[in-house]
Structure 1
Amino acid sequence: MTTTVTTACVVCLSDLWQDELGRMACRRCTDRISADLAALPGLYVQLGGALMPGSGAGGPAVSGSRTAPLPLRLAPLSLAARGGVVTVLQSWLVDVHELLGYPHPRWEGDLVGQCRQVVARLQLLLPWIAENHPAVDDFAHEVRRTRAECEQAITGERRGRTVAVACPCGATLRITLDTLGRRCLCGEQYGREALLSLPLAERRQVAA
C-alpha cells in the first residue's frame, strides 16, 4: 500500500516547501488561521455593543429608553446568539476531538467565556489540524469568513469587492482580496499570488 504525500497546500493551493511536504496546510496558511482565531474573542465581545440600531460604523447607538430598542440589528445578533460564532467553533472542536479519539469537549460559563475556551483549545490543536485534518481548507475558510462577518457587523462596512479574473482557458474566476486559492473548472489550481496576477476578465466573459 502506497502513501500519498501532499505537495500543495489544500487551503491556498500553493506548492509546499520541502520541509512542509506531507502537511495539509502550509505554515503561512496556518499562521493566517491562528491570527483569525485570535481575533474572534475580542470581536465577539464587541458584537454585544453592536446590537442597537445606529451602533455600526462607529456611530452612536440610538435609544430613547434604558432598554435596547427593537428591532435589534440582526447581523450581530445572529453571530452573537447560540448557533452563531461560538457554535461554529465548537462544532469544529468536536470534529477534531472525534478524529483524535478524545472525549467530547465540555463547555463552561457564558458564551463569551465559551468563545475564549474554544479558541484556546483550537489554537492548541492547530498544529495537528494543519498537518492532518482532511477538511482544514473548509476550517480555514469558515474561520476567516466568521471573522469577516463579525468585523462587518461591528463596523457596518460592506464586504470586500468581488472582481472577475480570467483563466487562460477562458473561464472566469470571481475572487476578493481575501481569496486564498481557487481551482478552475479546467483543473488548473491557483494560489493567492497566482490569482492576483491573472488579468481581469473582459465584460463579455463576465456576462457569459
Structure 2
Amino acid sequence: MDAPAACIVCRNDLFDDEWDRYCCRPCQNHIDADLAALAGPPLWQDTKHGRRLVSGLFTALTGELEPGTSAGGPRVSGSKTAPIPARMEPLSQSAHGGLVNDLEEWVRDWEHRGYATSCQAVRPQYRMDQAVATLRFNLDIAVRKHEAINSFAEELTMIRGTCEALIIGAVPPRPLSAICPCGTRIKFHFDSPIRHCRGCGSDYGHHALIALAVATQAA
C-alpha cells in the first residue's frame, strides 16, 4: 500500500511506526470499542457523563419494544385492555434486515478481500455476535489493508449511535444513502466530509456524496 501521511479516520498525522496503516492506533481502539459495545449481554459502566452501556447494545434493543419505555424503565403488566403495539423502530432495527445486516455487509466485504470468514447463524442476536467477533478478530489486518476503513468506522459509529438513541427513547439521526455507479451502497451522515466506496475505491467528498444521494433518490 502507499502509506498515507495521516490517519484517514481522524486526519491526524501518523507516527513513524504507523506508516503501514490507514488509521492510527487510537482510532483502531475506538473502532474496537464500538464493535465490542454491540455484542454480548448488556453491561453498564459509570462514566463522567453518567451511566452508559459498554456492551450488549443490540440485545438491549429487544427490551425497548414497548411504547413509553427506556433503558431500565418499568413495564406495566396485567392490564385488561388490548396491548399497545410495540415500538416499531427498535423492532425494525433488531430484526433480520436491520442493523445486523449493515454489519454483515462489511464482513462480506472483508471476506472478499481475503481477511475474514463469514459465519452462518439464524437468530439476529447470534448473527450480530458472530459478525462483531469476526470484525474484531480481523481488525488489525483491516486497518493496514482496507483503504475504506474510515467509511467502516463512520458507519459503525452510526450503528452504535442508533442503538443508544433507541434505548433511551430518542430519535436516531437518519443516515443518507447513495448508490455508487459500481453498484455499491454508501451510507453517510449529512456532515460526512468524505466517504470511500468499498466496491470500486472511488472517493466522494461532501458535495459529491450529496449529489450522488440526490441522483440515487431520483433514480
Scaled by the length of structure 2, the TM-score of the pair is: 0.65
| Deviations 1:145-169, CA, capped at 9 Å, x for gaps | 1111101101124669xxxxxxxxx
**Contact kept in structure 1, 2:58 and 2:163, CA below 8 Å:** yes
Matched, 1:151 2:164: yes
1:79 to partner: Cα distance: 1.3
- Structure 1's 12 and 125: CA in aligned 2 closer, same or farther, altered over 3 A? same
Matched, 1:60 2:74: yes
- Give the structure with the higher percent helix: 1
| Deviations 1:141-193, CA, capped at 9 Å, x for gaps | 11111111101101124669xxxxxxxxxxxxxx9xxx9x957xxxxxxxxxx
**Contact kept in structure 1, 2:66 and 2:86, CA below 8 Å:** yes
1:83 to partner: Cα distance: 1.5
* SS of match in other structure, 1:14: coil
Structure 1 CA distance for aligned equivalents of residues 97 and 71 of structure 2: 25
Moved more, 16-25 or 62-71: 62-71
1:101 to partner: Cα distance: 7.0
Q: Which residue matches 1:84? A: 98
Matched, 1:108 2:108: no
Q: How does 1:113-152 map to 2 (within 5 A)?
A: 113-152=126-165
Structure 1 CA distance for aligned equivalents of residues 121 and 3 of structure 2: 39
**Contact kept in structure 2, 1:52 and 1:62, CA below 8 Å:** no
1:21 to partner: Cα distance: 1.0
Structure 2 CA distance for aligned equivalents of residues 158 and 81 of structure 1: 18
Identity of aligned residues (%): 40
Q: Which residue matches 1:25? A: 23
1:109 to partner: Cα distance: 4.0
Q: Which residue matches 2:42? A: none
Structure 1 CA distance for aligned equivalents of residues 25 and 143 of structure 2: 8
Q: Which residue matches 1:16? A: 14
Moved more, 3-12 or 111-120: 3-12
1:68 to partner: Cα distance: 9.2
Gaps of 5+ in 1: 161-174, 184-208
**Contact kept in structure 2, 1:36 and 1:143, CA below 8 Å:** yes
Aligned residues: 162
Gaps of 5+ in 2: 40-55, 174-188, 195-219
Structure 1 CA distance for aligned equivalents of residues 58 and 21 of structure 2: 31
Q: Which residue matches 2:61? A: 47
1:9 to partner: Cα distance: 0.7
Considering only aligned residues, what root-mean-square deviation do their CA atoms show, in Å?
2.8
Structure 2 CA distance for aligned equivalents of residues 62 and 139 of structure 1: 40
Of structures 1 and 2, the one with the larger relative CO (CA 8 A, separation 6+) is 1
Structure 1 CA distance for aligned equivalents of residues 37 and 5 of structure 2: 30
Structure 2 CA distance for aligned equivalents of residues 63 and 24 of structure 1: 52
Matched, 1:38 2:36: yes
- Structure 1's 17 and 102: CA in aligned 2 closer, same or farther, altered over 3 A? closer
1:65 to partner: Cα distance: 5.1
